[in-house]
Chain A
């Protein structure tokens, strides 16, 4: 399997470890990722201002993947939704497609809409499959309480993203369970990190993510696991900024944030350095050691079969 790896603007410069860990994990399952240097912004940042300007960049990205003969894999939710939205709009609006194609034409590109857009978790869950992941595990966590936050633009609108049940999502839970991690039920699982408001209404933006951190703590979570790049930046970088800005909290420990491919990667025998764990600003080396200490043996053969049956 090979995909064009769409990283967007934030990941290559602010969350390299997300791309590094994802690439390392997928490599173990023979999934190759090709980074197309020519990819541009997904268009999301301009969505408040002008819709057509929002769609055009995604049309170009899809046309580039089409030219390379590859389907796209995305790890940022906002990029994911933008690409999906563009595809849906262009499928329903021939005139718009023709107009945008005229712009793309200048570079010798053409959009037809045949590129498939996959989220990284879908590839793990559907294309590789839970069984294959289980079979490849070196370890499983003996105990690990995680508060997963999906990020809005992955789940909703379900009509566009078609990722999972947007009310009772199951993909993340099962992917965490495979690794032996508990996906706790907490207030915030399906809610907003406030990123879309940062820089426009900072007070509200930080209230939204700080409330999630409090809720995760209250639900006894040990790590927050954000799926979206924007959520990650809110919980990691913005959390640190927030603590620094409050003299009273300057010395308090931030709530640690872990990315899913990092969590899974440790169970697959990858080293913390290969997963960029130390690059997460909110994770201390003690927490990395604690994660490693909880790695137990992969589940015994028998028990695994039973569980699989129960799921069917």
Chain B
């Protein structure tokens, strides 16, 4: 007991240190917008004000409703993923009920129920039921992690560790109970303390406990006569039943005798009980100490995140954050990052999942981004290669917001990603996927338009440096054999210039050559003389609205728009290996 108290104190101490670090991160770190103006103390005060304003308003009703539907019932995942919902509910309810009924029995159960006794029913039975619930939930979670691997659900060592620890707590507890049930030493101690039997009665009682309550006695090896069991049952009913329901009610522990008995035989029954007790305590305290440093911190942070979301729903799409001061916006980002359980629901749903397959960049998956972004928020050094991957992962996103819709912890992933995206782009490292239509929803949303423009300029600069312009070339232009176009329809061009004449982009400029470097027909000409590079470097291809009017109107079926796509792809690829700076 002495040792237990020391260990418990130690675990609580580590837990508190972890908690303090987490809280410091909540109020001291953030992704974007950069705001040195907010000290942690100011952010803490702001958040308290925000909470107070919510609690003392009509929105308290929303909070209460959300506590039931979002926190307890996990409404957000039931329809999207019944499997995950079942697994989580089994673990959550099983674990919480065990925590209150069993782990905190002296402060909860004993006070609520005057007749509470851990070895009486329904408590004995319920303890096993809850334990089995947790184990079943863990089984489902393991099954999900394995079968969803093909659906891009990533699992880390820490994910398995969490399952192992929770499962370890329950399983070691069951072994402890199982070993105690069969332990002769425990039986004897009880007899010494509570029993007032003569020798015969004691023998009968022992026989009954062996026959029906799973006791292993060194005195009894042969089969026991039925009369003796009945006499034992009588003795049992005088003295033991007040505190002992039949041990078979502890159905899980009781049936684990096959596991516990070999230990008892090897170590002695008392040592086996001691071993399992030690294991059980070790698992519990390790879990407690590990909690704030791991994804299990979501037990505390996910409720905060979900409740925040219930009163501050995600801003209507494509608009700024409303009703949230920027100090609180940063704090909300941090609460969000700490609430991620790496459950992978977002990655399974992610609309950009196939881009992950072709780019082989883990950061395209939302779950992987959000896990890594805590390093960015903490200001940890990130090596350039990882940074580039992260930036690409943040940009290769269709802005469909599915991740934010599905997140069981209520994390506003979309907000975090938008902020992280522009935080990274602000460093001026060019991002080639900016030139994709991923930019369309961003233009529509108009968040950080200046940063966006600056990032575009960085990419344009790379192009400017990488490719020659028509005006840079010394005349006369000569024929080369350099063209590697897969689409060879350009060869049919007979110089009618219909493409340029019908182009809505060309029409939009008073001096199109200056704005676009080359006009559509000139691009085709340059392919004709074998100078693909020249075409690749022209602004025209990036100003093409892809309306296909030129291609459709070409009398000789030159597939101009498709060729422009090829040129764009080739230009991006050319920049890829030697990317500047």
Contacts and interface: CB of A to CB of B under 8 A. Distances in A.
A135 interface: no
Given A9-B351, A48-B565, A199 B452 contact: yes
Interface in B426-471: 432-444, 446, 452-453, 456
Contact of B572 (A49, A60, A166): A49
A296 interface: no
Contacts of B542: 48, 200-201
B549 A45 contact: no
A156 B552 contact: yes
Interface stretch (A20-28, A100-108, A113-121, A249-257): A100-108
A129 interface: no
A2 interface: no
Interface string B531-568: 00000000000111111110110000001011001101
B401 A199 contact: no
Contacts of B566: 51
B54 interface: no
B386 interface: no
B368 to A, nearest CB: 17
B400 interface: yes
Contacts of B508: 204, 207-208, 211
A153 interface: yes
Contacts of B552: 155-158, 166-167
A49 B542 CA distance: 11
A12 B441 CA distance: 13
Contacts of A13: 317, 399-401
B504 A45 contact: no
A241 interface: yes
A296 B566 CA distance: 52
Contact of A107 (B150, B432, B442): B150
A155 to B, nearest CB: 8
A167 B399 CA distance: 34
Interface in B304-324: 317-318
Given A13-B401, A156-B552, A166-B552, A199 B358 contact: no
Contacts of A49: 432-433, 435-436, 568-569, 572
Given A56-B357, A197-B545, A204-B508, A106 B444 contact: no
A46 interface: yes
A199 B440 contact: yes
B545 to A, nearest CB: 4
A53 B504 contact: no
Contact of A57 (B355, B436, B444): B355
A194 interface: yes
A152 B443 contact: no
A200 B434 contact: yes
Contacts of A127: none
B189 to A, nearest CB: 58
Contacts of B399: 9, 13
A127 B466 CA distance: 52
B546 A196 contact: yes
A192 interface: yes
A163 to B, nearest CB: 12
Contacts of B80: 37
A48 B435 contact: yes
A78 to B, nearest CB: 8
A233 interface: yes
B572 A197 contact: no
B440 A195 contact: yes
B465 to A, nearest CB: 19
B441 A10 contact: yes
Given A48-B437, A56-B358, A230-B440, A156 B565 contact: no
A137 B559 CA distance: 43
Contacts of A220: none
B358 A45 contact: no
Interface string A31-60: 000000100110111111111110011001
B398 interface: yes
Given A157-B559, A166-B552, A192 B545 contact: yes
Interface of B: 80, 150-151, 317-318, 349-355, 357-359, 396, 398-401, 432-444, 446, 452-453, 456, 504-505, 508, 542-549, 551-552, 559, 561-562, 565-566, 568-569, 572-573
Given A48-B437, A196-B437, A198-B444, 5 more contacts: A9-B399, A50-B358, A155-B552, A199-B441, A200-B456
6 contacts: A13-B399, A14-B444, A41-B355, A48-B572, A57-B355, A152-B547
Which 5 pairs across A and B sit closest by C-beta, in order of nearness?
A: A199-B439, A156-B548, A199-B443, A192-B547, A9-B400
